[in-house]
Amino acid sequence: FRRMQSTGLYGQTWTLRTTSLPSFEQQVDTRTPTAVLWGGLLVTVLATITALMSSISRERAAALSAARQETQRILESIDDAFFAVDGDWRFTYLNPQAEKLLHRPAGRLLQKNLWEEFPEAVGSEFERRYQQARARQESVSFVEYYPPLQTWFEVNACPHG
């Protein structure tokens, strides 16, 4: 038994081909249209559910990508320098202003450890206050001079996760 059916789903046309297996036809009297209909219907329903789930996954991926792009656009439009680090203090994001302030392009810092890239900050007020923010899960603000860059920094550190 073979059957083809086209169905529209989320603006796309899906062609579903249903073929019963010889073992199915041997177990069921294929002269009885009901048995063949139910077998084909089950396959059609399962194929439709699979197509629907695939379509939903693509839509979610597109929405997630759009949200990431919007977040990046917002972070890059901020006038202040902004960077993010993960739980191991590795840089995960730097906006263009942070690149300028730290005198390094994002490509050189991403996935690198903050303390290894700026070893003079180890033991400084920067490390103490960043560690404090993370340990207490509360924002901290401070002003500190960083001699290697000959720059005063006004820092607002906000822990996440």
For 43-78, write each residue's pLDDT tens digit.
555 666 666 667 777 888 888 888 888 878 887 888
Of 157, 132, 160, 131, the residue nearest 142 (C-alpha): 157
CA dihedral 63, 75, 91, 86 (to 10 degrees): -60
Please check whether residue 143 is in contact with residue 153, taking contact to mean a CB–CB distance below 8 angstroms: yes
Quick one: average pLDDT of 91-117? 95
Mean pLDDT within 70-89 = 87
Please state the rounded mean pLDDT for residues 16-43.
Answer: 53
What sign results for the dihedral spanned by CA atoms 36, 39, 42, 43?
negative
pLDDT above 60 for 137: yes
Summarize the confidence of residues 124-139 as an average pLDDT: 96
Tokens describing residue 140 = 């901290």
Higher per-residue pLDDT: 39 or 85: 85
How far apart are the C-alpha atoms of 36 and 29, rounded to whole Å?
8
Q: Are 151 and 102 in contact (CB under 8 A)?
A: no
What is the per-residue pLDDT for 148? 96
User: pTM above 0.85?
Assistant: no
CA distance 32 to 139: 72
- State the DSSP H helix or E strand holding residue 96, giving kind and residue range, or none if neither: helix 96-102
What pLDDT is attached to residue 49? Answer: 66
Both structure tokens of 84:
């993010």
